[in-house]
Amino acid sequence: MGARRRFVLLALIAPAALVGSLAIAQTPAYRPPHRPDGHPDLSGIWQAFVTANWDLQGHEAQPGLHPELDGAYGAGPAGQSIVEGGEIPYRPEALGKKKQNFATRAKVDVSDDKKWHALGDPELKCYMPGVPRATYMPYPFQIVQGSNNTILIAYEFTSATRIVRMNWTQEAPADAWMGWSRGRWEGDTLVVDVTGLREETWLDRAGDFHSDKLHVVERYTPMSPYHLQYEATLDDPTVYTRPWKISFPLYRRLEKNIQLLEFKCVPFTEEMLYGRFRKPGAP
């Protein structure tokens, strides 16, 4: 092949390879042991090590909300995108809302019931983070895979809990912060269909958001005794031009006697939310 043709070929291939997302690196095929019911056991404590909770897309390190007070403590790290293709395919009119979210992520005002959720990142207020955000927050979570067609997932952040009902057809009866989860097995992959998510949850601190039409399909696939491959497809035609996907590994926490601890953050937010309503002069 002529040098020029080789060059042209490389020029075509290279960009796609360069602008990649943080997909799972190739690992040898893994066959997990099965429980008597024929499925792998995903029970255990898992954690993600991506920085997607700051920003799903590629991002640089950034100062915190009050650098004059908390310097490097408050700063956020850099991270590569976990979005397949790199960018979230927002509808053009939706991008304005993302920008507005980011600009007001640390503003809270709960003085008016009707505007209770209008401002501020729900994470800041210690509201349950929703799906898939709970999976990539920098806190561990625990899967308890029951033997009665139920899988419980407990998250350390604000002690949020999800019940995954296996092979369940009932639709979400009402919206919930952690959604309505129905699971099934596809080979060794646990597939969880999530609907009924409260529209007020955000996907990260960068203001990425969705509507009440969001439909998430998660896939948890054992890659080794110590890793799960996590993928989530997000579909919301009112906000995005097409469904899009994130993926990253989940790591099993291996410390001896590891357990979830409490991160009950409500007390950390009360002064911020309610301090302004204190009786003047009261301690």
Q: What is the contact surface with another protein in residues (CB under 8 A)? A: 35-37, 41, 43, 110-111, 113, 116, 122, 126-128, 142, 144-148, 150-152, 154, 158-161, 163, 165, 168-171, 173-178, 198, 200, 257, 259-262, 264, 266-267, 270, 273-275, 277-279, 282-283
How many angstroms separate the CA atoms of 119 and 139, rounded?
A: 24
For the bound state, the minimum distance from the C-beta of residue 134 to another protein, rounded and expressed in Å, comes to 12
For the bound state, the minimum distance from the C-beta of residue 36 to another protein, rounded and expressed in Å, comes to 5
Q: Which is closer to another protein, CB of 26 or CB of 148?
A: 148
Q: Which is closer to another protein, CB of 28 or CB of 36?
A: 36
The Cα angle at residue 228 between residues 226 and 229, in degrees rounded to 5:
145
For the bound state, the minimum distance from the C-beta of residue 178 to another protein, rounded and expressed in Å, comes to 6
Task: Confirm if 155 and 250 have CB atoms less than 8 A apart.
Answer: no
Length of the chain: 283
For the bound state, the minimum distance from the C-beta of residue 281 to another protein, rounded and expressed in Å, comes to 9
**What is the rounded end-to-end Cα distance, in angstroms, of the chain?**
81
Q: Which is closer to another protein, CB of 30 or CB of 116?
A: 116
| Residues linked to residue 45 through DSSP beta bridges, in sequence order | 142
DSSP letter for each residue of 43-79: -EEEEE-S-TTT-SS-B--B--S-HHHHTTTT-B--B
Q: Which is closer to another protein, CB of 37 or CB of 70?
A: 37
